[in-house]
Amino acid sequence: MSDFWISAIVFVCLSAASLGVMYLTPILPQHHRDEETNTVVRLVANIFVVMTSLVFGLMLNASRSTYEGVDKNVHAYATNMILLDRSLRSYGLGGKDARLRLRDYVTVAIADPSRADETFEAMPDRAGKALDALSDALSVIEPGNSYHEQLLLDIKQQYRSLVQQRWVLLEQSEGGVPFPLLGVLVAWLVVIFASFGYRAPHNKVVVSSFIVASFLISSAFYLVLDMNIPFDGPIQISDQPLRRVLAQMDH
């Protein structure tokens, strides 16, 4: 289920809980609406407020860690591509075609960032094919002396590290929040919003407040979940490191 639909479900649940209880309370028997009952309802809601704050804080911290970890790896990945390009440039004319293939890969990676789920679902992996073309270009290079032979070994090792880093990024591109935890958190929020609606006055200000609060909470859910997918959605990892690599290659 997409992040948008999850946040939409959260919005509907919270709005329905608060507004439903608000309109249901007046038709309850009087002993269900006395002050003692109201006190108990508030105490129970306060328990869930504390638990919800802790769990949501953990979710936010996990999403932030995922996002920052991927961002750090992207910068390291870009640095290693610059080093590989420098090594191919040092190799001379024999590495010219491989440099062109590397540049093609960077161009495709900027235009069409891949994700692990797309790769496993057999969707077109243009970046992967461009990286394979670089491997093919390296395999046909024939060193003419011991210096170029050793340099070619280093270049191939850099290429293998590059492939490894790419798959690390692909695996990190699709984080996840356990759905059972998400369901429990939403259930707690429903209880909290239901307690808000209990004995709440019937007027437009209160109704608007419930709707706005539900929207803001669901928006927070959307943003936290979106941070777990760093290459998609409104919060994305910047491609500036790769663009700097491309600029260095064109010098």
Q: What is the pLDDT along the chain (251 residues), one digit of tens a residue?
A: 678 888 999 999 999 999 998 888 888 788 777 888 888 888 888 888 888 988 888 888 888 888 888 899 999 999 999 999 999 999 988 889 999 999 999 998 888 776 554 544 556 678 888 899 999 999 999 888 999 999 999 999 999 999 999 988 888 776 667 778 888 999 999 999 999 988 888 888 999 999 999 999 999 999 888 888 877 778 888 889 999 999 988 87
Which residues are CB-contacts of 129 (< 8 A; sequence separation ≥ 6)?
A: none
Report which of 70, 105, 77, 73 is spatially closest to residue 249, judged by C-alpha positions.
105
pTM: 0.78
If phi over 0 gives left and psi between -120 and 50 gives alpha, with beta otherwise, what is residue 122? left
Task: Give me the pLDDT at residue 168, please.
Answer: 87
- Angle, alpha carbons 174-175-181 (nearest 5°): 140
Q: Are 241 and 74 in contact (CB under 8 A)?
A: yes
Question: Between 3-24 and 179-197, two packed helices, what is the crossing angle to 10 degrees?
Answer: 30
Q: What is the DSSP string of the chain?
A: --HHHHHHHHHHHHHHHHHHHHHHGGGS-GGGSSHHHHHHHHHHHHHHHHHHHHHHHHHHHHHHHHHHHHHHHHHHHHHHHHHHHHHHHHH-GGGHHHHHHHHHHHHHHHHS---HHHHHTT---HHHHHHHHHHHHHHT---SSHHHHHHHHHHHHHHHHHHHHHHHHHHHTS----HHHHHHHHHHHHHHHHHHHTT---SHHHHHHHHHHHHHHHHHHHHHHHTTSTTSSSS----HHHHHHHHHHH-
